């Protein structure tokens, strides 16, 4: 720290944002992750005002009266509601921003949004981030950020493959020499698995459950293959479909596995196709380097084993599955080459 740094604070503090369909993370280089909240907004239908954002809004899901709408504005990897997305983004930026002193310049912000968005939406996020108080904005391609964050050798002449399974989208990319060589986005990911769990519990246990319970079940006992250490079960409560009364039941991991089989196989097929379409030289690199599985959905039990078996390529789960993207954005801010490649308007 120089004399002036001490006097003026860190000059032009930077900020990295992962605007995910399920969770938004904000990191400040040197400080690490300073915000990690669900991408959820609660609105008052009568006044159209934002009532709550993040954790506070998520607590309202399933408990809201008719006058309040609780939504995930990025639900399917696309911006379902522009104004609400922007309100959420500026709320998070302001919450995470270190208190600025009057002489401190605005931060530069590197932000990732789901890759499936249109160029109009990209531009919109870009503008909104500027409006929310950025001096300069860099939109980083999400798979690239995930790869940088996970420490893959993105700038080297070797192929790396990244599969990021989030809430709304599964994104598959092959990266080499600092660029994305092939890319594919699929609107089937964590949320779709939750819905499949809820449908199956309905059919098999005659029980109606909410989306939060379905997600809890998936995370606790869901698996892509039989669990070698023994199958699991879980006590849940829901509403009996016949009597309409609350009922407690015990669900088995075998049943949940059967329930998510269909959406899961669509994800597996897409990854397999993407790999098979990869140029042979890059494919040889990928066989040697393995495939990185990241994003919260990548943590599904036994998914890495299933993919390794199906693709005949080693697939490994990132230990930092939730934070790779925001970490990658933060590192990109320190890398002039990565910033030069990012989407930035003149
Ligand atoms: P996004 O980038 O879209 O915001 P995340 O990478 O934060 O998404 O991942 C969120 C998804 O990961 C959710 O669908 C959540 O249910 C799922 N998830 C989180 N932990 C697990 C787990 N242990 N097993 C399976 N799915 C998980
Ligand atoms: Mg993500």
36-78 tens-digit pLDDT = 999 999 999 899 899 999 999 998 887 888 899 898 888 765 6
pLDDT at 13: 80
**Does residue 299 have its Cβ closer than 6 Å to ligand 1?**
yes
Q: Can you read off the two tokens belonging to residue 174?
A: 């092959």
C-beta of residue 247 within 8 angstroms of C-beta of residue 202: no
pLDDT at 7: 44
pLDDT at 99: 67
Q: 172: part of which helix (H) or strand (E)?
A: strand 170-176
Distance from the CA of 190 to the center of ligand 1, in angstroms?
6
Atom 14 of ligand 1, nearest CA residue? 190
Sheet containing 291-294: give its strands across. Answer: 179-186, 170-176, 160-165, 291-294, 315-317
Atom 8 of ligand 1, nearest CA residue? 166
C-beta of residue 122 within 8 angstroms of C-beta of residue 148: no
Terminal C-alpha separation, the chain: 32
**Does residue 218 have its Cβ closer than 6 Å to ligand 1?**
yes
Query: What whole-number distance in Å separates Cα of residue 174 and Cα of residue 86?
Result: 30
**Does residue 327 have its Cβ closer than 6 Å to ligand 1?**
no
Q: Can you read off the two tokens belonging to residue 177?
A: 């020499």
Residues 6+ apart with CB under 8 A from 33: 25, 26, 27, 323, 326
DSSP-based three-state secondary structure for 39: coil
Residues in the chain with pLDDT values less than 50: 1-11, 346
**Does residue 296 have its Cβ closer than 6 Å to ligand 1?**
yes
Looking only at the bridges linking them, the beta strands covering 291-294 and 315-317 are parallel
Distance from the CA of 244 to the center of ligand 2, in angstroms?
37
**Does residue 21 have its Cβ closer than 6 Å to ligand 1?**
yes
Distance from the CA of 304 to the center of ligand 1, in angstroms?
15
């Amino acid at each position: 720290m120089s004399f002036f740094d001490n006097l003026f604070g860190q000059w032009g503090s930077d900020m990295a944002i992962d605007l995910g369909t399920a969770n938004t993370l904000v990191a400040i280089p040197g400080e690490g992750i300073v915000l990690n909240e669900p991408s959820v907004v609660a609105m008052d239908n009568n006044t159209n005002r934002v009532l709550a954002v993040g954790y506070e809004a998520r607590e309202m899901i399933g408990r809201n009266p008719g006058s309040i709408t609780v939504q995930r504005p990025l639900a399917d990897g696309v911006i379902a509601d522009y104004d609400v997305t922007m309100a959420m983004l500026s709320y998070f930026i302001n919450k995470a921003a270190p208190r600025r002193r009057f002489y401190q310049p605005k931060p530069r912000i590197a932000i990732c949004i789901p890759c499936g968005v249109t160029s109009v939406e990209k531009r919109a996020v870009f503008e909104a981030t500027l409006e929310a108080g950025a001096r300069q904005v860099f939109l980083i391609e999400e798979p690239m950020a995930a790869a940088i964050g996970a420490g893959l050798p993105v700038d080297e002449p070797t192929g790396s493959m990244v599969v990021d399974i989030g809430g709304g989208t599964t994104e598959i990319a092959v990266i080499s020499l600092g660029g994305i060589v092939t890319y594919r986005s699929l609107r089937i990911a964590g949320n779709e698995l939750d819905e499949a769990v809820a449908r199956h519990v309905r059919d098999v246990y005659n029980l109606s459950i909410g989306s939060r319970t379905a997600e809890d079940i998936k995370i606790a006992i869901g698996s892509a293959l039989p669990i070698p250490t023994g199958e699991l079960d879980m006590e849940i409560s829901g509403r009996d479909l016949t009597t309409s009364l609350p009922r407690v039941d015990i669900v088995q991991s075998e049943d949940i596995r059967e329930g998510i089989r269909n959406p899961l196989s669509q994800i597996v097929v897409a990854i397999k196709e993407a790999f098979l379409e990869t140029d042979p030289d890059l494919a040889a690199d990928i066989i040697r380097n393995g495939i990185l599985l990241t994003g919260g959905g990548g943590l599904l039990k036994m998914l890495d084993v299933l993919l390794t078996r199906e693709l005949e390529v080693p697939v490994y789960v990132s230990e930092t599955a939730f934070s790779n993207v925001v970490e990658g954005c933060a590192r990109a801010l320190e890398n002039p080459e990565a910033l030069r490649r990012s989407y930035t308007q003149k």
